[in-house]
Structure 1
Amino acid sequence: MEAKRLIVCGGNGFLGSRICKYAVARGWDVTSISRSGEPKWNTVTSSASPPQWARKVTWERADILRPATYAPLLKGADFVVHTMGILLEADYKGVLQGRESPIAGLRKAFSAAPQPGNPLERNVDGKSGDDADADIRPPETKEQLTYENMNRDSAIMLAKRAAAENVSAFVYVSAAGGAPVLPARYLSTKREAESAIASEFPRMRGIFFRPPFLYDSSRPITVGMAAMTGVGALFNGATRGVLGGFMGAAGTKPLKVDVVAEAVVEALGDPAVKGPVEVPEIEELANKSWRKTML
């Protein structure tokens, strides 16, 4: 049987790198796409040296906001995963150059100003539908990483390119119900991406993972934050979810990042899995995958 070919956009990140790891373990042909190529390993694992499995991954560089840079890499793919997004917005060049403070970025994130529609509505590919060189960012957000262009538009355009290549399954890493410390647009853009992908590309099996806060000992800060989130989850359970609407993702049990990564790979390999995948289903998929390795 020919090995499945998987493309992971954001494969050098905290979750994406582990998706690559579990896919390699299944004997799949894995390609990671990111702006920087191979990860800086000390930022995603506990070691600065690349793990052995990383040698079996093809680390490609491309810009998720410019489809022309990654479109050729999707040819022949069976599965595509989108793991990219931002928690907070900022004029990143302005912040780096000292022209804008991170606080200004926060104000933008919580603003109620009208936001651009999704790229399918804006026809960013041009009237002919063949102009893949179009930039996803609308002119007014040219230097801005926004929830719209990172959490929503990049995923929709990746799904469009994947569907054009007859990819059989597409995983979009969304999010559990919104935490109160994040702007409402963080979650709404995630849900908009899910909806657009499901409705616009029905022949492609869309899988929408909704993980809670992710942690791992390789990032000690996430362990402490997970403990705090876990307390919220216990409280939510003890009160039978009375404050669940207020607490959002902070009231959802955190998961180890490897659990979610293993579940993503299991879901891709199971034709029955499609649509939203909530925390209980994520754990079930990870357990199913783990049992397979024990046989």
Structure 2
Amino acid sequence: MSAKKLIVCGGNGFIGSRICKYAVTRGWDVTSISRSGEPKWDTVTASDKPPQWARKVTWERADIMRPATYAPLLKGADFVVHSLGILLEADYKGVLRGQESPIEGLRKAFSAAPQPGNPLDRKVPEGSNQDIRPPETRNQLTYESMNRDSAIMLAKEAARENVAAFAYISAAGGAPVLPARYITTKREAESTIASEFPRMRGVFIRAPFLYDSSRPITIGMAAMTGLGAAFNGFTRGVLGGFMGAAGVKPLKVDIVAEAVVEALGDDKVKGPVELAEIEELANKSWRKTMV
């Protein structure tokens, strides 16, 4: 039986790189797609040297905002993963050039101004090299473009190639410090992918806060999130809606990555995958390695 072929968009990131790792462990043929190709390893692991498994991954460069740059790489794929997203948005070019302050970027993020509809509504043409972002937000990393539109267009291209399953790294919830659009765009992506591409098995991993010792800052943040989860449990979820992901138990990033690979390989897993099922899938995957 030939090896499964997996494409991970954002495969050089914090969780994407680990999804690649666990897929390689299963003997899958793995390709990562990102703007920069292979990761800067000290940003995703504890070392600046590539790990052994990385040699078995094909590191490709493409622009997630221009489907024509990555569409050819999806041919023959069994599974596709979207592991990109942002927590905060800003006019990054303006900030870098000193034309806009980070505070102004945050103000935009919390703005109630109307946001562009998804690219299917805007009828972004297939096969063109057109940027999927509308002109008014072309220079801005927005929740709509990163968390929603890039996933929808990737799913569209995957469905066109008859990919069996599509995994989207979503979120358990928002948080008091984040604009509501952070989580609404995640849920819009889930809903659109499920309804528009029903023949492709959609798997929506609603991950909580992720941590790992290779990123020390995440350890302290996970501890705070863990306290929020404990408080949420003690109060029986009275403030659960307000706290969002800050009230959900954090997980080690490897647990979620392992669960993603297990979910893709299991035809019965479909739709939203919440915290308990993420842990169950990771344990199932771990038990397989012990046999």
Q: Give TM-score, length-normalised by structure 2.
A: 0.99
Per-residue deviation, 1:59: 0.2
Residue 10 of structure 1 is matched in structure 2 by 10
Residue in structure 2 matching 1:201, options 197, 207, 214: 197
Residue 72 of structure 2 is matched in structure 1 by 72
Per-residue deviation, 1:114: 0.3
Residue 96 of structure 2 is matched in structure 1 by 96
Which sections of structure 2, spanning at least 5 residues, go unmatched?
Answer: none
The residue correspondences of 1:1-80 to structure 2 (distance < 5 A) are 1-80=1-80
1:118-143 deviations in Å (ceiling 9; x for gaps): 00000011xxxx44322111010110
Instruction: Give % identity.
Output: 84
Query: Match of 1:42, as an amino acid?
Result: D
Query: Match of 1:76, as an amino acid?
Result: G
Residue 147 of structure 2 is matched in structure 1 by 151
Residue in structure 2 matching 1:135, options 131, 137, 143: 131
C-alpha separation in 2, matches of 1:177 and 1:32? 27
Partner-residue secondary structure (3-state), 2:7: strand
Residue 246 (structure 2) pairs with residue 250 (structure 1): yes
Partner-residue secondary structure (3-state), 2:120: helix
Partner-residue secondary structure (3-state), 2:150: helix
Partner-residue secondary structure (3-state), 2:204: strand
C-alpha separation in 2, matches of 1:53 and 1:177? 32
Residue 160 (structure 2) pairs with residue 164 (structure 1): yes
Residue 175 of structure 1 is matched in structure 2 by 171
Residue 232 (structure 2) pairs with residue 240 (structure 1): no
C-alpha separation in 2, matches of 1:213 and 1:231? 12
Query: Match of 2:148, as an amino acid?
Result: R
Query: Match of 1:172, as an amino acid?
Result: Y
C-alpha separation in 2, matches of 1:251 and 1:147? 22
Aligned residues: 291
Residue 227 of structure 1 is matched in structure 2 by 223
C-alpha separation in 1, matches of 2:105 and 2:177? 15
Query: Match of 1:273, as an amino acid?
Result: V
Residue in structure 2 matching 1:190, options 179, 186, 200: 186
Per-residue deviation, 1:239: 1.1
C-alpha separation in 2, matches of 1:167 and 1:104? 41
Query: Match of 1:113, as an amino acid?
Result: A
Which sections of structure 1, spanning at least 5 residues, go unmatched?
Answer: none
1:162-199 deviations in Å (ceiling 9; x for gaps): 00000000000010121111100000000000000000
